[in-house]
Amino acid sequence: MSDAIPISLTINGERRQAFVQPWHTLLHVLRDVLHLTGTKRGCNQGICGACSVMVDGEVVRGCLTIAANCEDCAVTTIEGLARGTALSPVQQAFLEVGAVQCGYCMPGMIVAATALLKRTPKPSEDQIREGLSGNLCRCSGYVKVIRAVQRASEWSDA
Amino acid sequence: MKFYRPTSLKQALKVLAGDEDARCLAGGATLVAMMNANLIAPSALVSLAAVKGLAGIAKRKNGTVAIGAMTRHQAVADSDAFDRGQAMVKEAASHIGHPAIRNMGTIGGSISHADPAADYPTALVAVDATVTVESAAGKREIEASRFFTGYLETALAPGEIVVAVSIPATPSGAASAYEKYARVQGDFATVAAAAVVALERGVCSFARIAVGGCAPTPVRVAAAEAKLVGSKLEPAAVAAAAAAIAAACDPIDDFRGSSAYRLAILPTIVARAVATARQRAEQRPAEQRP
Amino acid sequence: MQIAETFAVAAPIERVWQFITDPTAVAPCVPGCQSYEVLGPKTYKATVKIALGPIKTTFNVIVDLTAEQPPTFLASTARGEEGGKASTLTAQNELRLAADGPSATTVSYTSEVALVGRLGKFGLGIMKKKAKTIGEEFAVAFRARVEAAEANRGGTTSEVLSTDVPQAGA
């Protein structure tokens, strides 16, 4: 049995610590150790995107990120997008447009959309499709998801 | 399982030399997925995240582009270091997985996994890339076509890791294309083709083609390339080249396509790659769309 | 998945039959076979190491001979599992021998293989190619063994062969 490794990292602006095993993923630490269960486990293979989070400003797969490798990283999860009770523009747009059905893909989808708009503030529809291509949704057919990202991009500060 | 996060390559290679079941952790896109699927259980993870000097793209004076092993796919896809003949390497990188995967995955990790349906192996074989590998015993260079030795198998000896990939300059006037057919966007290719061509007054003076997803390694057939050089890249010549490549292929049957289907579409994928490369070669650089 | 292989052996059909029904002759020809044990007149078990790139594993396989019509037909079933039952494998095998003149035999077999568990999920296409490779390597090794014995005409199986695979619990 390996010795647990202490890690210290910033999650949604707060310094957090955990003890992890070498094989623990960031997804496991977020959900099962730190109880930030907004991020979801879908395929656990990096394909579905339900586990998408931002690490050091880039969208990545939580299920493929080794937690022990995240010392001093800055992680943003779905829980970190709102400011108090004020939803982020992307979250607000998803609500207003009615893009959420069962909701399971949405934390990953919204994080990916947030990352997309950071990189490309006024994306074309093709760029939206490309930017969200790593997030699978079994409910919506993506129509309103795309519309939500377009709505958010019309507002000035996503 | 142990976890190491060395700050120098020397330290990393020392750990790997001492434990043949230790594995490098680069981006984790492949390694961690396989661990999650219970396919492998390394004795130790040796993270390369803190090793300096392994990431970056540098263009040398002679036109060679050197890519550090830890360079992320998105960085390659965004780079403007490549000449038009080399550019299909960045085109291939832009096809890998999805944005999140491109932010995590590295060229070193990808080629070490050596899946013939992946994007880098096919592109690197077509462009005559050289892979630099290093172990505690020293450094050596391996031609891309000899680096991939079988399905998920490479010429890496125990304790050796990829440290860089070098893309040689292509002839003046050459252009390239990476054509990928996948049933689902972002998946591994069912069949992919990478082509580099140059033309002089409408006659092909240089041709390189490699095909992925059709054999245990990327397939490149010199005789196929010879059929194109001296031709005007007319359909009959391209079809003959594709047939020569198909004869060297041995595709698997899986959910991405049956063996028969892959062989059936191979000529079309090769033709499209050659046609796109040719179209780009015939445009003057100033006219080229990004 | 179905695997089929046909190969020729330069030996009389009776000789080939003798070899193919003898686990001490067959086991060393299976690539990756680490050990074998005869459990009964129609049953034997073997451990076989398989590698697929970075994935390495050992299967414990039990083979039961289910039907035979000497010297032309042999049917068997194989059940195998990885340690911890991470994957299980079942195969229905049929083997046919046909004399091709007095001193040559055509061997053909078909195998219906089912693989479930972690390796089954991984990608059946690759496993099928791996199984084909194993079959091809077996054919080469088996043919060499039988033809060497034939060249040393007069030697019996046990005289000619060295059991270079450890036999467990004889």
Q: What is the DSSP string of B155-203?
A: SPPTT-EEEEEEEPPPPTT-EEEEEEE-SSTTSPPSEEEEEEEEEETTE
3-class secondary-structure state, position C81: strand
Nearby residues of A110 by Cβ (< 8 Å), 6 or more positions away: A78, A81, A90, A91, A94
Compare CB distances from B254 to C53, C119, C124 and report the shortest one's residue.
C124
- Domains of chain B (ranges; CATH) run 1-51 (3.30.43.10), 175-285 (3.30.390.50)
Domain definitions of chain C by residue range: 2-158
Tell me if chain C has a CB within 8 Å of the CB of B39: yes
C80's tokens:
């195998």
Q: What are phi and psi of A153, to 5 degrees?
A: -70, -20
Residue B148 predicted with pLDDT over 70: yes
Alpha-carbon dihedral C25, C26, C30, C33, rounded to 10 degrees: -70
A12's tokens:
């949604």
pLDDT of residue B254: 85
Give the highest mean pLDDT range of A10-14, C149-153, C164-168.
A10-14
Tell me if chain A has a CB within 8 Å of the CB of B272: no
B289 pLDDT tier (thresholds 50, 70, 90): very low
3-class secondary-structure state, position B104: helix
Interatomic CA distance for residues B118 and B180, integer angstroms: 10
C34's tokens:
């680490």
Angstrom distances, CA of residue B217 to CA of A81, B123, B263: 44, 12, 15
Report which of residues A101 and C158 the model is more confident about: A101
Tell me if chain C has a CB within 8 Å of the CB of B35: no
Element housing A19 (H / E): strand A14-20
Chain-wide mean pLDDT for chain B? 95
Q: How many helices (H) and strands (E) does chain A have?
A: 5, 5
pLDDT of residue C123: 63
- How does pLDDT run across B176-194, given as a tens digit for each residue? 999 999 999 899 999 999 9
Buried b (16+ CB within 10 A) or exposed e, C142-168: bbebbeebbeeeeeeeeebbeeebeee
Q: Does the fold of domain A89-154 match that of domain A5-80? A: no
- How does pLDDT run across B32-88, given as a tens digit for each residue? 999 999 999 999 999 999 999 999 999 999 999 999 999 999 999 999 999 999 999
Give the residue-averaged pLDDT of C107-114. Answer: 92
Give the residue-averaged pLDDT of C48-59. Answer: 90
Interatomic CA distance for residues C45 and C167, integer angstroms: 10
Inspect the structure and tell me whether chains B and A have 3 or more CB pairs less than 8 Å apart: yes
Amino acid at B95: H
Among residues of chain C, what percentage have pLDDT more than 70?
88
Cβ(B227)–Cβ(B244) below 8 Å: yes
For tokens 């004020």, name the residue.
A86
Residue C157 predicted with pLDDT over 80: no
Tell me if chain A has a CB within 8 Å of the CB of B34: no
- Tell me the CATH number of domain C2-158, given options 3.90.1150.10, 3.40.50.300, 3.30.530.20, 3.40.640.10: 3.30.530.20
For tokens 């003076």, name the residue.
B205
ipTM (interface pTM): 0.95
Q: Which residues of B touch A115 (CB under 8 A)?
A: 99
Mutate to test the interface with B, among A21, A23, A53 (most CBs of B within 10 A): A23
C2 to chain B: closest CA residue? B253
Inspect the structure and tell me whether chains A and C have 3 or more CB pairs less than 8 Å apart: no
CB count in 10 Å sphere of residue A57:
11
Mutate to test the interface with C, among B38, B153, B259 (most CBs of C within 10 A): B38
Tell me if chain A has a CB within 8 Å of the CB of B38: no
CB count in 10 Å sphere of residue C67:
10
**Cis peptide, bond prior to residue C71, ω within 30 of zero:** yes
Cβ(B229)–Cβ(B240) below 8 Å: no
Which residues of chain A fall short of a pLDDT of 70?
A: 1-2, 156-158
Inspect the structure and tell me whether chains B and C have 3 or more CB pairs less than 8 Å apart: yes
pLDDT of residue B61: 95
C150 pLDDT tier (thresholds 50, 70, 90): confident
Compare CB distances from C55 to B40, B252, B256 and report the shortest one's residue.
B40
Buried b (16+ CB within 10 A) or exposed e, C104-118: ebebebebebebebb
pLDDT of residue C159: 43
C-facing residues of B in 232-251 (CB < 8 A) are none
Cβ(B108)–Cβ(B191) below 8 Å: no
First-to-final CA distance of chain A: 45
The class (CATH top level) of A89-154 is mainly alpha
Tell me if chain C has a CB within 8 Å of the CB of B34: yes
**pTM metric for this prediction:** 0.91
Interatomic CA distance for residues A64 and A51, integer angstroms: 9
Q: In what order do the strands lie in the sheet with A74-76?
A: A14-20, A5-11, A74-76, A52-55, A58-61
The answer to whether the CB atoms of B32 and A116 lie below 8 A apart is: no
Tell me if chain C has a CB within 8 Å of the CB of B222: no
How far is B21 from chain A, CA to nearest CA, in Å?
Answer: 15
Q: Which residues of A touch B48 (CB under 8 A)?
A: none
The yes/no answer on whether domain A5-80 falls in CATH 3.10.20.30 is: yes
The answer to whether the CB atoms of B99 and A68 lie below 8 A apart is: no
Interatomic CA distance for residues B5 and B15, integer angstroms: 10
For tokens 């196929």, name the residue.
B224
Compare CB distances from B186 to A23, A68, A133 and report the shortest one's residue.
A133
How far is C58 from chain B, CA to nearest CA, in Å?
Answer: 13
Report which of residues A156 and C129 the model is more confident about: C129
Length of chain C, in residues: 170
Residue A33 carries which DSSP code?
A: I
Residue B134 predicted with pLDDT over 90: yes
B254 to chain C: closest CA residue? C125
Q: Across the strands, what pairs with B209?
A: B195
Nearby residues of C64 by Cβ (< 8 Å), 6 or more positions away: C42, C43, C76, C77, C78
- How does pLDDT run across B213-272, given as a tens digit for each residue? 999 999 999 999 999 999 999 999 999 999 999 999 999 888 899 999 999 999 999 999
Amino acid at A24: H
Length of chain B, in residues: 290
pLDDT of residue C120: 80
Element housing B12 (H / E): helix B9-18
Q: Which residues of B touch A68 (CB under 8 A)?
A: 3, 5, 45, 47
- Chains in touch with B (3+ beta-carbon pairs under 8 Å) read A, C
Report which of residues C53 and B6 the model is more confident about: B6
How far is A131 from chain B, CA to nearest CA, in Å?
Answer: 6
Compare CB distances from C128 to B34, B153, B252 and report the shortest one's residue.
B252
Domain definitions of chain A by residue range: 5-80, 89-154
Nearby residues of A70 by Cβ (< 8 Å), 6 or more positions away: A7, A9, A26, A55
Mutate to test the interface with B, among A26, A52, A69 (most CBs of B within 10 A): A69
pLDDT of residue C129: 82
